A and B are shown apart, each in its own frame.
Chain A
Amino acid sequence: DTEVTQTPKHLVMGMTNKKSLKCEQHMGHRAMYWYKQKAKKPPELMFVYSYEKLSINESVPSRFSPECPNSSLLNLHLHALQPEDSALYLCASSQEPSWETQYFGPGTRLLVL
């Protein structure tokens, strides 16, 4: 089973709202990732968690706040977003935080009004 789940599938929020995206995997993977993908562009890495610790932050604005409560869960807390933050947010996981295969979830399509 190589399933990564994400909720919600769609999210519409105002610029003053606070919301959270959730990602879950039960494959025993020790690395989890957040990507952002704009239309007709490739996924861009935002954050990497390795053994529940943040190992890579690709200079993401502080209005995006990741959290890894346990080895199966990854959250992305959103606050004071801008319309240009509207995108598909993808979660992925891999066995180890190295060169191994990353498996993607279905994504959350976010619209910021």
Chain B
Amino acid sequence: QKEVEQNSGPLSVPEGAIASLNCTYSDRGSQSFFWYRQYSGKSPELIMFIYSNGDKEDGRFTAQLNKASQYVSLLIRDSQPSDSATYLCAVQGNAGKSTFGDGTTLTVKP
């Protein structure tokens, strides 16, 4: 079992729809959770971070964390073609050690 697993892609949604990205993790001691967006050939760009159970909203993005289920998700509302990218879930424990999922490639079709 991988330490961090993301729903397999690619994921394709029409413009204006909601895109749902999911991530599960195996280490119950994990303390912080991040979603990064990565365009082809570029470095990861932080989209959201979440530390506590529940929802966290930032504009069109909502991160959801359920530590009991070891599950974190990212919802993108009103998806735009510019949201087309690979989304990486990262789970971090102590000492700054981050583990990334394999990523989910999202395509938003106009």
A interface residue numbers (CB < 8 A to B): 31, 33, 41-45, 48, 50, 55-56, 88, 90, 94, 96-107
Contacts of A55 in B (CB 8 A): 95-96
A-B contact pairs, 16 of them (CB 8 A): A42-B100, A56-B97, A88-B43, A90-B44, A98-B31, A98-B96, A99-B32, A99-B51, A99-B92, A99-B94, A100-B32, A100-B96, A102-B96, A104-B43, A104-B44, A106-B43
Contacts of A107 in B (CB 8 A): 42-43
B15 interface residue per 8 A CB criterion: no
* B96 lies within 8 A of A94 (CB): yes
**Cα-based distance from A8 to B93 in the complex (angstroms):** 31
Q: Mark B83-110, 1 if CB is under 8 A from A, else 0.
A: 0000010101111111111110000000
Contacts of A104 in B (CB 8 A): 36, 43-46
